[in-house]
Structure 1
């Protein structure tokens, strides 16, 4: 989520300049911007490696020839910069990631490797998809100005997956943005899912609709961080630099060459190139990101993954070419992807996947069948219900995260009903203090810890006891306020005592509400985690809506006694009658 207004303005400026330079197709602008951003980030990564080498007193071995680095050619002037980037830098970029000893005679075999066969030195998907890439900026002045703006963005200083965020923002400029589920998953949601699924360095991790490969990048970083010596995880400025120094050589090689597999059906190659660049920038030298519609007949792989992390497209339909291994009467992509995930996982494999709320409670046979399959033939480990604003401004749909294990079973399902994700739930998505994600992660990791759960239950009882007198006092104040409002309405004009008493009571109620609010918020948070028996879910047609099972404690609401209300009505009626008589007397005089 790109929330920085200055960055947005700079992206808009780049967009306008590229359009003015003749790149009228939005996809062309996105690609050219991505190439330049990639070159800048490569240079930043080279600077970071050099800095890390100095901190560890190790020799620095550059990966990029000096004359091809952004910091070298960026200051060229006039036609020289255009010629250098077009004739020297871009050809090098197109071959980046290609093994040194490749020759043309082996490219066909390598292409097969991309479809899933094993090879010690596979051709990078980045190289494959960049073969037909073109550098389309034709004006030196445009290139110079765009590079200046990218420099001002200070990409290296941004604590986020900036390339994916910028692409998301650019995607919003397309007329089709947001359709068919084409919006990027917020990074903090990806991180939550990765941490909950806890991928290991020897596991095969995949995303069947990868987009910019955010899930795989985060899984890779998570594994590196978990296997980095804590003493060397942070630099002098407090910045995190996971290097995975505790990984064995075999684990490191597997992680960089075989562990991560991604698919996308973007026939225009834009997503495939950007996703491959994203993987390479994070240390995956030979990305395994394949052009493939994983719901189609052409996708034959099965039982080849240990972990699936993804946010598949929803609201789409498959009318033809559906893989025959999937249910033939099911057309909704959000349901088909769940079947395909199960087909792709090894027995015991784990998944965290985002689905729209319709999957959780849909009443059609197709909806009920997939939920039944998850509960009866596999182990549905957990459900995190997310608020509807998580994907704004691109979509307002309510979603949930399903976590399941293939081939196991369980009698209980863990639920968490998220209320806040750390950002406002409107289109602006500004950072806020309310954030359930830390509690979600702690509850998930300790969900089988009896002491932890008992402690939460005890705390709930303590809060209830603290709230009892406060809520009783609140009811009394509400009763007084009702009475004082009536007394103020019928009081003589020269009698201010009811008004003053009312103002005092309302102020007391405000202060009391401020005391109640933090306690109520805490008990609400403690109630967001709960367990549901599988038998109960089955009896409700496998409905997985958190709202169906979460116990919500209703506060006692103040209602005036009927006899008091009727008494006041009679008194008010007599008061009005007296006022009318007084008015009549004034008219007669």
Structure 2
């Protein structure tokens, strides 16, 4: 832990807000750090000039903020005032060679198309090693902020090859302002996958299970499509003669509910297992992608087929409806004679 190894580990932090400085310093002292090195300073300012100083940087920089260009350190880019982009450049400056960083960023950093957005992603990927991207759902920072976020993991000075991704959907709490604890939590799986991302045995077991689940789900999904077709037909027939087909329709809908229940558990497991995936550097750096790091851009999702009635059947039913309408019109005409 930090406390047991503090004589070997030096920690530093800056903040431009006195309230956070006091809270952070008190928190460190309560946890046994008697002389916290927590400074009242704007890390983007000209007064903070640390370069190649740190082995590890963990950061949650301000989101959606803008800074005064005149106060920014000259080593940082002058073509943007977005704090989230400037902090990424700051991290690259402050890390020692081989130093590692984990940074929480708003998802706009992942896909922003401005020159400043593309350039910071290019620097991380081309001049350093982007180790991983964890995309998080909107709501994980509620009630304070509802923006979608991601965590970038990168190493200063190394070379990017394949990039590890995890498309997280649940963090163990509801994604509304109440943040109530829930059973759905991807964080243990994120940690497990990250720690074993280079373990061939771990990944082979995972991929084998994915294929097994797909084989289990395929016949059930085919049966579900057949039931949708049957229900669609019975609803049409019920519209013409409800009494004759009501029980058949109720039975088909009951069977559909049952098959949906049988599908739900293996489908949930499949969704979780496919949240981890790898993308090549070449794919990310292509002209089409422009270093886009959105998980949704690369993740292969097994989309369920949506039932659509055949056009020929639809036309046949329209003809039947027209025939019924003509019969009823003729019957009304007979009553008028």
Q: Which residue of 2 aligns with 1:564?
A: 313
Equivalent of residue 137 in structure 2, options 387, 394, 408: 387
Match status 1:346 vs 2:96? yes
Match status 1:535 vs 2:282? yes
Q: Which residue of 2 aligns with 1:412?
A: 162
For the residue of structure 1 that corresponds to 2:7, the secondary structure is helix
Q: Which residue of 2 aligns with 1:547?
A: 296
Write 1 or 2 for the structure with the bigger share of helix.
1
Q: Deviations over 1:2-33 (max 9, x none)?
A: xxxxxxxxxxxxxxxxxxxxxxxxxxxxxxxx
For the residue of structure 1 that corresponds to 2:313, the secondary structure is helix
Relative contact order: is structure 1 or structure 2 higher (C-alpha 8 Å, sep ≥ 6)? 2
Equivalent of residue 153 in structure 2, options 400, 403, 407: 403
Task: Quote the Cα distance in structure 2 between the aligned partners of 1:271 and 1:504.
Answer: 62
Equivalent of residue 192 in structure 2, options 417, 442, 445: 442
Match status 1:285 vs 2:34? yes
Task: Quote the Cα distance in structure 1 between the aligned partners of 2:160 and 2:118.
Answer: 18
Match status 1:311 vs 2:73? no
Q: Deviations over 1:14-73 (max 9, x none)?
A: xxxxxxxxxxxxxxxxxxxxxxxxxxxxxxxxxxxxxxxxxxxxxxxxxxxxxxxxxxxx
Task: Quote the Cα distance in structure 2 between the aligned partners of 1:270 and 1:449.
Answer: 44
TM-score of the two chains, using structure 2 as the length reference: 0.95
Structure 1 or 2, whichever has the larger Rg, is 1
Match status 1:362 vs 2:112? yes
Match status 1:522 vs 2:273? no
Equivalent of residue 573 in structure 1, options 301, 315, 322: 322
**Residue ranges of structure 1 left out of the alignment (5+ in a row):** 1-222, 225-242, 245-250
Q: How do residues 456-475 of structure 1 correspond to structure 2 at under 5 angstroms? A: 456-475=206-225
Q: Which residue of 2 aligns with 1:63?
A: none
Write 1 or 2 for the structure with the bigger share of strand.
2
How far apart are residue 576 of structure 1 and its match?
Answer: 2.0
How far apart are residue 578 of structure 1 and its match?
Answer: 2.1
Task: Quote the Cα distance in structure 2 between the aligned partners of 1:252 and 1:263.
Answer: 19
Q: Which residue of 2 aligns with 1:333?
A: 83
Q: Which residue of 1 aligns with 2:244?
A: 497
Q: Which residue of 2 aligns with 1:175?
A: none
Q: Deviations over 1:460-494 (max 9, x none)?
A: 11111111110110011001000000010000xxx
For the residue of structure 2 that corresponds to 1:367, the secondary structure is helix
The alignment covers a number of residue pairs equal to 334
Q: How do residues 121-160 of structure 1 correspond to structure 2 at under 5 angstroms? A: none
Match status 1:423 vs 2:173? yes
Q: CA RMSD in A?
A: 1.4
Task: Quote the Cα distance in structure 2 between the aligned partners of 1:513 and 1:583.
Answer: 45
Task: Quote the Cα distance in structure 2 between the aligned partners of 1:456 and 1:583.
Answer: 67
**Residue ranges of structure 2 left out of the alignment (5+ in a row):** none
